[in-house]
Structure 1
Amino acid sequence: MTSIGISEETTTIQELPKKPWWMKIPSGTIVILVFLVGIAYVAYYLHILSLTEACKDTAGLTFFGDCVSKLKVNEIGDSLGGAFAPLAFIFLAGALIIQAFELASQRHEINETQAVMTAQLAVAREQVKETIASTALLTAQTNLFTQQHNLRLADDEFDKTLYRARLELMNYEQEFGVFLTLSHDNGYDLLISGQHSQKADDYDFFNMIAGKVKKIADTIDEEPFERVSFVNVRSWDYFRKLFARLSALTQSCSPAYESLAITYRTHDIHQALEELYGTVAKAEQNQAGAPDAPPPSGSAK
């Protein structure tokens, strides 16, 4: 028989005490022994019967018949009853012994089955733990892959948006900026564009754009002017949204692209454009004599 020893970390199967020797005796052997005991009893009974007064002078194959025929009827009954009662007891004892052996063997098998079921339960619990651990690992890997996928998507979108921003800044139809009037009929445009910087690399190009936005803001702060207005308000709205998107993408991009955004100063350009837009919009409100009114759409060149 085997026993199941279960620890917290592993499941081991250990040997249990073996079946007792008497449990290994076949039932057929017990039946043969019972018959031998019965035969021995019958022989002993006949020997005792041959010593009685009625049977001591009889012998041969007809011994029992000749002996019994000399007995009275009641003596015959007593003789047969006395002979077969112990014999019946011997066979009954043999049957009980066989049944007891079978019950003990069944109980032993039930204990083995219970031990195996306990082992299977322990293995099932270990499998559940492994399944939970595998599920947690798979979930972590899925989250990692999802995060990496999202980073790649954000990086790709940053690349496309950056390329789009440069392409549109070099487009004559998308030029925008500020128109200043210093005196009557004396005005000029301060444009934010990269129309003449097609050969510059991205680092130089966007640093040049950041410099232009800063220069316009400094000019408005330092130069006395009579009026100020937007050049191409539609382009202002377009590029403000474009650089706002670039600035937002830096929060979801990979670290490499975050460094790239710092190098290209996309967040600085976005902040500078918003500040310049607010300055010009406020100035236009003051010029219109309605400071509480919403910013005008501006004039287009």
Structure 2
Amino acid sequence: MNENSDSRDWGKKLFKYGIPVAAVLSLGWFVYAVLIAYPQVTACTASWMTVNAIGPFPEQEIAQFNSCLKLNEFGDYLAGSFAPLAFLWLIIAVLIQSRELKAQQDALMDQLVESRKQTNFLHAEQATARAETNSKRFEKFLKLVRLALQDVNRGSPYTRDADDVTFMRYMAKKNADSIVKAIAVLKGDAKPLHGFHPESIVEYAKKIYPYIDELRSLERILSAQDLETYRACHMPEVLEALDELDRFIAQQAAQNEREPAT
């Protein structure tokens, strides 16, 4: 930024002071060239006036008598006199053009910066919108899981009346363990306990079974804050219990296919 501001200040100073100085130098150079050429021009005019007043002379005698510059010599003088001025103004024109190109380049860079800012702003808005959408999806599925799990084990009135996050923090892990235990009882891997109803627990768990893929995908798309809540609500443990339920349902289906039809 400092280099760009220095170059812009230098260009402004050149445009402000350089052109007037060049104009003054050009005028001075022109006056100097006129002062040099003026004696020669006046002498030439006087000698021709003298020749014409005296009378006709042969061309050779006129050439000897006249000390004027020839036209081609006078043209060379003018070319040599004004060549430095032309070169000076050529340099000034190049500098002015480079300044205009620099201004255009700066304008394009400003547009590029603004475009990047707008792009970043749009990306941020899109990310915020996606995060809000995913957060609402998480709240929706959290409520579905809570409604299914709160009937698995009858918790205290505090947990039943609590909000979804509080309920899941305190009861989800316990209910997930109950689902795994109920499946083990139904498979014959564990003994049933008094007052424990594995069939009812599995039926309650089946209410959220269709959403297992959705619940698993949330872990990949949630924001950091929602992901922390996701884990604090023991959703990974609930998913493990649902995976166990998935395997149990698949075993039951395979077993039913192997049984002969009655």
Normalised-by-shorter TM-score class: 0.5 to 0.7
Which residue of the partner structure matches residue 223 of structure 1? 191
Which residue of the partner structure matches residue 244 of structure 2? 275
Answering whether residue 76 of structure 2 is matched by residue 114 of structure 1, we say no
TM-score (norm 1): 0.56
1:213 to 179, 190, 199: 179
Which residue of the partner structure matches residue 24 of structure 1? 27
TM-score (norm 2): 0.63
Alignment of 1:80-91 (within 5 A): 82=62, 86=66, 89=69
Match of 1:250, SS state, is helix
Q: How many Å separate the matches in 1 of 2:153 and 2:211? A: 14
Please identify which structure carries the higher helix content: 2
The answer to whether the 8 A contact 2:176-2:238 is kept is: yes
Q: Structure 1 residues 25, 96: CA separation in 2 closer, same or farther (over 3 Å shift)?
A: farther
Q: How many Å separate the matches in 2 of 1:262 and 1:22? A: 81
Answering whether residue 80 of structure 2 is matched by residue 105 of structure 1, we say no
Q: How many Å separate the matches in 1 of 2:161 and 2:79? A: 104
Report the number of matched residues.
238
Q: Structure 1 residues 41, 101: CA separation in 2 closer, same or farther (over 3 Å shift)?
A: closer
**One-letter amino acid of the counterpart of residue 270, structure 1:** L
The answer to whether the 8 A contact 1:154-1:249 is kept is: yes
Q: How many Å separate the matches in 2 of 1:232 and 1:218? A: 12
The answer to whether the 8 A contact 1:247-1:270 is kept is: yes
Q: How many Å separate the matches in 1 of 2:145 and 2:104? A: 60
Q: CA deviation at 1:271?
A: 1.9
What is the root-mean-square deviation of aligned Cα atoms in Å?
4.8
Q: How many Å separate the matches in 2 of 1:155 and 1:193? A: 27
Q: Percent of counterpart pairs with the same letter?
A: 11
2:136 to 136, 156, 160: 156
Q: CA deviation at 1:114?
A: 1.7
Q: Structure 1 residues 269, 105: CA separation in 2 closer, same or farther (over 3 Å shift)?
A: same
Match of 2:221, SS state, is coil
Residue-by-residue CA offset, 1:267-296 (whole Å, 9 max, x unaligned):
21122122134225424643x4718x9xxx
Which residue of the partner structure matches residue 195 of structure 2? none
Q: How many Å separate the matches in 2 of 1:97 and 1:195? A: 112
Q: Structure 1 residues 94, 119: CA separation in 2 closer, same or farther (over 3 Å shift)?
A: same
Residue-by-residue CA offset, 1:221-250 (whole Å, 9 max, x unaligned):
2138xxxx9779997665112243223212
Q: Structure 1 residues 129, 46: CA separation in 2 closer, same or farther (over 3 Å shift)?
A: closer
- 5+ long unaligned stretches in structure 1: 1-6, 50-63, 69-75, 171-190, 294-301
Larger Rg belongs to: 1
Which residue of the partner structure matches residue 60 of structure 1? none
Match of 2:258, SS state, is coil
Q: Structure 1 residues 144, 194: CA separation in 2 closer, same or farther (over 3 Å shift)?
A: farther
The answer to whether the 8 A contact 1:243-1:269 is kept is: no
